[in-house]
Amino acid sequence: MEHTWRTLSKADIPAVTALRAAAEAVDETGMHLSEEDVAEEFADADLNFPDGSLGVAAGDELVAYGLARIRGNAVGTHRMLLEGVVHPAHRRRGLGRELVERLIACSRVVHASHYQDMPLSVDMIVRDRADGHRALATELGFTDQRRFYDMRVSLADPPPLLEAAAGLEVVPYTRERDEDTRLARNEAFAEHWGTTAASPQVWAERFTGMKGFVPGASFLMVDSATNAVAGFVLGQHSEAEALVTGVRELWVADVGTLEAYRGKGVAGALLSRTLTAAREAGFERAGLSVDSANSTPALGVYERAGFAVTGYWSDYGLPVSPVG
């Protein structure tokens, strides 16, 4: 059947949701999205409709789609993230390759309107079992830049309660300290690979203002002398995922410690409070992702908290010549 290429709009949210569900049944990435989740994604500040979107239809059915996401507050190189999904019944026909090639072309157009004088690179996330995706990325010249581990811990038993160094206090996250938390996160992650500063808009959309944010399992470490935020843990939950898997999982979306407070047990103490609160709220396990090449000893901190590696994914990148 002939394929029709077009841009996407919010009217495509139901079709994108159905396409994602069909792909997830085969790919088993652990990402289960409701229409509300997809609508939230489509409202992100890092999406540029229509130029940064592609839809592929076979008749009246959406059989593939792709997005080229900008990176806010890019420094040095603008690293755009390419996302794409092809329906399992339409794979092995060259559609995925054409989708990526067209997304690269889209990225040039979007990049020119945001960071015209900055070098451009495009990234794709490749899951550990996605052999076909990995082969396609390699064929198109992408290289494996970074590996991230997914880690999980059962909450069947109470986690040990850990304390940070004297002069530091764990307090619940509150809206009153939301801006302090945003600024602390930007400072803590300033040197982390691939991370850019979160603007107030992005912070609201992707962090503490998103539907899945769990304030009751989010905590701050505060300096008792100055009341400054020394560290933080932010929790999220996907109800759509729980409905499919039958498991209530707290996703530890962000764990950060400001440099002046590292080595004082901040992350461990925060995680113990978050896991305790999650267990008390009825969550059955917790999960997170960590950069395998993190310059801080994050992997060891998570292992001591009981987390174990359950899988990995890689960031594949390709330098792209901007629009001439």
Which tens digit of pLDDT belongs to each residue from 244-271? Answer: 999 999 999 999 999 999 999 999 999 9
- Asked, for residue 318, whether it belongs to a domain, the answer is no
Please tell me the predicted confidence (pLDDT) of residue 296.
65
Do 126 and 256 fall within a single domain?
A: no
Do 56 and 177 fall within a single domain?
A: no
Closest CA to 28 of 100, 134, 131, 127: 127
Domain end, chosen from 141, 163, 187, is at: 141
What's the DSSP call for residue 177?
Answer: G
- What value does the mean pLDDT take over residues 297-320? 94
Categorize the per-residue pLDDT at 48 as very low, low, confident or very high, splitting at 50, 70 and 90. Answer: confident
- Asked, for residue 266, whether it belongs to a domain, the answer is yes
Which residue type occupies 2?
Answer: E
- At 291, give phi and psi (nearest 5°): -70, 125
Do 77 and 120 fall within a single domain?
A: yes
Both tokens assigned to 267 = 């992350």
User: pLDDT tens-digit profile of 187-197?
Assistant: 999 988 888 89
Please tell me the predicted confidence (pLDDT) of residue 289.
96
Please tell me the predicted confidence (pLDDT) of residue 322.
76
- Asked, for residue 31, whether it belongs to a domain, the answer is yes
Do 158 and 279 fall within a single domain?
A: yes
Write down the residue that tokens 């962000």 correspond to: 254
Categorize the per-residue pLDDT at 314 as very low, low, confident or very high, splitting at 50, 70 and 90. Answer: very high
Interhelix angle 95-112/131-139, rounded to 10 degrees, is 60
Residue 284 has pLDDT above 70, yes or no: yes
**DSSP characters for 26-91?**
HH--S----HHHHHHHHT-TT--TTTTEEEEEETTEEEEEEEEE--TT--SSEEEEEEEEE-GGG-
Residue 172 belongs to a domain with what CATH number? Answer: 3.40.630.30
Closest CA to 266 of 229, 293, 317: 229
Query: Which pTM was predicted?
Result: 0.91
Do 19 and 50 fall within a single domain?
A: yes
- Asked, for residue 242, whether it belongs to a domain, the answer is yes
- Asked, for residue 279, whether it belongs to a domain, the answer is yes
User: pLDDT tens-digit profile of 212-227?
Assistant: 999 999 999 999 999 9
- What value does the mean pLDDT take over residues 48-61? 94
- What value does the mean pLDDT take over residues 272-295? 94
Do 118 and 155 fall within a single domain?
A: no
Do 119 and 169 fall within a single domain?
A: no
* Strands of the 143-154 sheet, one edge to the other: 4-6, 53-58, 61-69, 78-86, 120-127, 308-320, 143-154, 285-291, 249-257, 229-236, 213-223, 168-172
Do 271 and 229 fall within a single domain?
A: yes
The distance from CA 194 to its chain's CA centroid, rounded to whole angstroms, is: 12
- What value does the mean pLDDT take over residues 80-102? 97
Do 164 and 308 fall within a single domain?
A: yes
Do 303 and 216 fall within a single domain?
A: yes
Domain end, chosen from 94, 110, 141, is at: 141
Residue 46 has pLDDT above 90, yes or no: no
Domain end, chosen from 141, 170, 196, is at: 141
- Asked, for residue 322, whether it belongs to a domain, the answer is no
- What value does the mean pLDDT take over residues 14-38? 95
Do 132 and 251 fall within a single domain?
A: no
Please tell me the predicted confidence (pLDDT) of residue 295.
60
Cβ atoms of 147 and 314 closer than 8 Å: yes
Q: How far apart (Å, rounded) are the C-alpha atoms in residues 96 and 91?
A: 7
What's the DSSP call for residue 282?
Answer: T
Kindly state the helix (H) or strand (E) to which residue 202 belongs, with its residue range.
Answer: helix 200-206
Categorize the per-residue pLDDT at 324 as very low, low, confident or very high, splitting at 50, 70 and 90. Answer: low
Closest CA to 114 of 201, 45, 182: 45
- Asked, for residue 319, whether it belongs to a domain, the answer is no
Strand partners, 208: none
Both tokens assigned to 282 = 């009825």
- Asked, for residue 98, whether it belongs to a domain, the answer is yes
- What value does the mean pLDDT take over residues 306-322? 95
The mean of the pLDDT values for the chain is: 95
Higher pLDDT, 93 or 297: 93
- What value does the mean pLDDT take over residues 140-156? 97
Please tell me the predicted confidence (pLDDT) of residue 196.
87
What's the total number of domains in the chain? 2
Residues 6 or more apart in contact with residue 63 via CB below 8 angstroms: 3, 19, 56, 57, 86, 87, 89, 90, 95
Do 176 and 120 fall within a single domain?
A: no
For the chain, give the percent of residues with pLDDT over 90. 87
Parent domain of 122? 4-141
The distance from CA 58 to its chain's CA centroid, rounded to whole angstroms, is: 30
User: pLDDT tens-digit profile of 161-173?
Assistant: 899 999 999 999 9
Residue 49 has pLDDT above 90, yes or no: no
Please tell me the predicted confidence (pLDDT) of residue 126.
97
Please tell me the predicted confidence (pLDDT) of residue 294.
75
